[in-house]
Amino acid sequence: MKVAIFLAIAPLALALPIIAATPEPAAAAGCVSGAIVGGVAGKMAGHGKVGAAAGCAVGHSKAKANDKAKDQNIQSGQNPAR
| Number of domains, the chain | 1
C-alpha distances in Å from residue 64, one per residue of 20, 48, 75, 79: 23, 24, 17, 18
Q: What is the model's pLDDT at position 24? A: 57
pLDDT digit string, tens, across residues 71-81? 888 877 766 55
Distance CA 82, CA 69 (A): 12
Q: Is residue 81 part of a domain?
A: no
Confidence bin at 55 (pLDDT 50/70/90): confident
Give the domain range for residue 13: 2-75
User: 49: which residues sit within 8 A by CB, 6+ positions away?
Assistant: 39, 42
- Dist CA 61 CA 64 (whole Å): 5
Query: Residue 31 domain-assigned?
Result: yes
**Is 15 a member of any domain?**
yes
Given this model, what pLDDT does residue 78 score? Answer: 67
Confidence of residue 34 (pLDDT cuts 50, 70, 90): confident
Within a domain: 33: yes
